[in-house]
Amino acid sequence: MSERVLIFDTTLRDGEQSPGASMNPAEKLRIAGQLEKLGVDVIEAGFPAASEGDFESVSQIAARIRRSEVAGLARANRSDIDRAWQAVRHAARPRIHTFIATSDIHLQYKLRMGREEVLQAAVEGVRYAKSLTDNVEFSAEDGSRSDRDFLCRVFEAAIAAGATTVNLPDTVGYAIPDEFAGLVRYIRSHTPNIGKAVLSVHCHNDLGLATANTLAALQSGARQAEVTINGIGERAGNTSLEEVVMALHTRSSLLGLETGIKTELIHPTSRLVSMITGMLVQPNKAIVGANAFAHEAGIHQDGVLKNPMTYEIMRPETVGLSANRLVLGKHSGRHALRTQLKDLGYDLSDEELNLVFAKFKELADKKKHVMDEDLEAIVTEGILRTAEVFALDYLHVTAGTTVLPMASVRLKINGRAVQGAGYGNGPIDAAYNTIAQLTGTNAELLRFSISALTGGTDAMGEVTVRLRENGLIALGKGADPDIITASAKAFINGLNRLEFLKSHPPEETAGL
């Protein structure tokens, strides 16, 4: 009989620490709702002490989520723990997640504390958190580089103080699978009261081993995996939820472990997080990449046609992909649209559906068939985008081999119409120069990428930009059958995200 592994998702906390991946409260709330549908056991909603915006987001998520536990992160001090509890206390199943570093390098250079001081701080933090809720998790930051015996002492003391989960983070992605598995076994055999708590692991991907380390730890007795959708997170990212879950699902006979994740919602959840954060999923990404179930080689194609299992170790339908898609066009109605959106993971209100339906009809008049990717782009444009300071009202571009590229643009800035014209090296450059002039931005364009969401010459084009201004970094996305319009939308979306960050400056937060 398989043993259950708890899935602790930290997309909204650690994942948001990816440069440029900041989300507003409405976006976080929508992702939290999708994570609950996915079947995540614990949603780490944020770090309430980091900023007022983070506190409000965690509070809103705690009030909305009913089935999943909602955790707030806190350093091992009373003020952080109080702030976390105030944010999560209205949750149906609240959790306080408190932490302190335990490695000698962190003690010496970051905390400037001795081991006994850290041990005392951990105990006091857990004990105080326990006075507020029975559900307390303790993490030993940089645990993989900590002295093993000291780590066991800290875990033993934390459990004695009331921790119901103890977490072993590979904070800087330093561990190797055999080494990490050995550390898990050592903790289990040298922490006398370890049976009174769930042992969790939280791995980073700096050496590309986060999933391998997590699976090795689970095989060695850990029973909670801390993960993010698409593996997003600071630096090289975190352990990918979809990789861990599908490894356990696909190799269940070998590993003997299972999760409560509804695997058919993995792909829609991946797309939602990518859309909201603006962070593209690489085509060859395991499970959710565009090429994950694509076959081009003739030998592979022949084998798949005869029996998909010749070259596919899992069925696409298992992760939410289907070859039998409902094709929507200009004659499709609201019911068909709502059904398709629900299949994609978007449960919209009547008001939101009306807005998306109007955009859908506009697009259906321009192209014969509207694909799933088109619908997701419409939802992003119409529903999920950041509250707008800047909105595109009009764009006209002149370009060609014999003319100097020029763009005429009319924007609405906080509802007030402004317009202007400008030149550039090409039509997109001209549009960007004009928009920059009208908005008064000094944002630097760090990255510009274009992708076709669907096939054909009438494909919806998606543009992603990365902007930097005064040390703030934001991603913007735009989609349209006209790639120049998509580019303008992406630039404006990025500027709106920068405006949001200016009014909600990201604080320095800790990464486990």
- Paired sense of beta strands 165-170 and 198-203, if any: parallel
Residues 98 and 74: beta-carbon distance below 8 Å: yes
Give the pLDDT confidence of 236-274 residue by residue, as tens digits: 999 999 999 999 999 999 999 999 999 999 999 998 898
Q: Which residues contact 499 (CB under 8 A, 6 or more apart)?
A: 386, 389, 390
CATH topology of domain 386-503: Double Stranded RNA Binding Domain (3.30.160)
Task: Give the per-residue pLDDT at 325.
Answer: 47
Q: How many CB atoms lie within 10 A of CB 92?
A: 13
Structure tokens at 294: 């694509």
What does the pLDDT average to over 500-506? 74
Q: Determine which of 130-139, 202-211, 334-343, 422-431 has the lowest per-residue pLDDT on average.
A: 334-343
Dist. CA 412–CA 416, nearest whole Å:
5
CA 84 to chain centre: 21
Q: For residue 103, give the DSSP letter.
A: S
63 and 88 Cβ atoms separated by less than 8 Å: no
Q: Report the alpha-carbon distance of residue 506 to residue 25 in Å, rounded.
A: 13
3-state secondary structure at position 409: strand
pLDDT confidence tier of residue 104, bands split at 50, 70 and 90:
very high
Look up residue 467 and give its two tokens.
């902007």
Query: CA–CA separation, 270 vs 79, rounded Å?
Result: 35
* Length reported for the chain: 512
Domain ranges of the chain: 3-277, 298-383, 386-503
Whether 355 and 380 have beta carbons less than 8 Å apart is answered as: no
Rg (CA), the chain: 24
- One fold for 3-277 and 386-503: no
Burial category of 503 from C-beta neighbours within 10 Å (exposed 0-12, middle 13-18, buried 19 and up) = exposed
List Cβ neighbours of 251 (8 Å cut-off, separation of 6 or more): none
CA dihedral 482, 338, 34, 272 (to 10 degrees): -10
Percent of the chain scoring above 90 in pLDDT: 64
Full-model pTM: 0.82
What is the overall mean pLDDT for the chain?
A: 89
Structural class in CATH, domain 3-277: alpha beta
Which of these, 454, 455, 459, lies nearest to 483 by C-alpha position? 459
Residue 216 clears pLDDT 90, i.e. is over it: yes
